[in-house]
Structure 1
Amino acid sequence: MNCPALTDVECGKLEIIKYGTFGDCESLRSINLLSTKIVEECAFADTGLTEATFGSKLETIEEGAFYSCPALERITIPLKDGLITHDNTFQGCENLKH
């Protein structure tokens, strides 16, 4: 989806972020999605994200959802077993702090 003017996303009722929804949105810097339950593959791949916040309703973050987001420094997610489905969910996010 290349959206050059989109910098922030805040949505209270978006339950599923579909495959590639925000992919290649290089200007995207922050997301605040407190009602999201599922983040599908490559939903935020290749974006300029620096910060992502999800609420307690989050159930699954699929493979490569945040692939190649080198500016991503912080993500807030609930502590749940099975939330992250693959090892490469955050591949290429070298600035992500643990």
Structure 2
Amino acid sequence: MVVYHQIGLDLLQANAINYGLIPNELFSSESNVQEVEMHNGVYKISKLAFYNCRCLERISGATGVQVIDEGAFYRCRRLKDLEVGLKIPSVKIVDGYAFQFCVSMTDVEFGEGLEQMEEFAFLNCYSLRRVAMPLKMDLISDNIFKGCTSMANIELVGKTSSRWISPLRFMFRGATSQKDRNQNNAKAKSNGATLSRK
């Protein structure tokens, strides 16, 4: 497969114009890659594609990505820059556990095109403070931001639902007991959790 080339100590270029996707587990546990440069043809990052890439800090050129599959960046602990602070307006689907334990991420921004975000998409991203996303009732799954204990602000972009939803619900929906819900609400409020509309 000639599609992936220039695998070096710190830069990987993925030119998947002909294939349009990065296959399952392709770079799992690749310990030397610090940066991935994608080209416009990449529309899907498949399941566990970058699982446990311990040194991965930056992904650029991902402007056409529409699907981020289950666990695509799971345990990429240094990942903090995916098109400038995880800003990919083209993303439509973020599967469960896609960014679990991406503990260096602080800012996430999705455009109005986001259609689906699965449960635990950002599980235990405990440095995550700000999220911008559209508010769509069918978009919300349980515990999208569970374990994001630094969450301070959720901004709603574009057209929003007429129904009000607390930002705490995005973080802690599905808590198992009233005690859990009360503790989670107290944590979020102590971080100054707010919901704003753009």
The TM-score with structure 2 as length reference comes to 0.47
Please give the alpha-carbon distance, in whole angstroms, between the structure 2 residues aligned to 1:9 and 1:20: 16
Shift in Å at residue 4 of structure 1? 2.6
- 1:44 pairs with 2:120: no
Structure 2 equivalent of residue 83 of structure 1: 139
- 1:5 pairs with 2:55: yes
> Could you say which structure has the higher helix fraction?
2
The TM-score with structure 1 as length reference comes to 0.90
Please give the alpha-carbon distance, in whole angstroms, between the structure 2 residues aligned to 1:73 and 1:64: 16
Structure 2 equivalent of residue 34 of structure 1: 89
- Are the counterparts in 2 of residues 69 and 92 from structure 1 also a CA contact under 8 Å? yes
Please give the alpha-carbon distance, in whole angstroms, between the structure 1 residues aligned to 2:115 and 2:58: 22
Unaligned runs of 5+ in 2: 1-50, 153-193
Runs of 4+ more than 6 Å apart: none
- Are the counterparts in 2 of residues 65 and 90 from structure 1 also a CA contact under 8 Å? yes
Please give the alpha-carbon distance, in whole angstroms, between the structure 2 residues aligned to 1:9 and 1:52: 14
Q: Secondary structure at the match of 1:76?
A: strand
- Are the counterparts in 2 of residues 8 and 31 from structure 1 also a CA contact under 8 Å? no
Unaligned runs of 5+ in 1: none
Q: Which has the higher contact order (CA 8 A, sep 6+)?
A: 1
Sequence identity percentage: 36
Q: CA-to-partner distance for each residue in 1:3-41, whole Å, 9 max, x for gaps?
A: 233223352111110000001000011311110001001
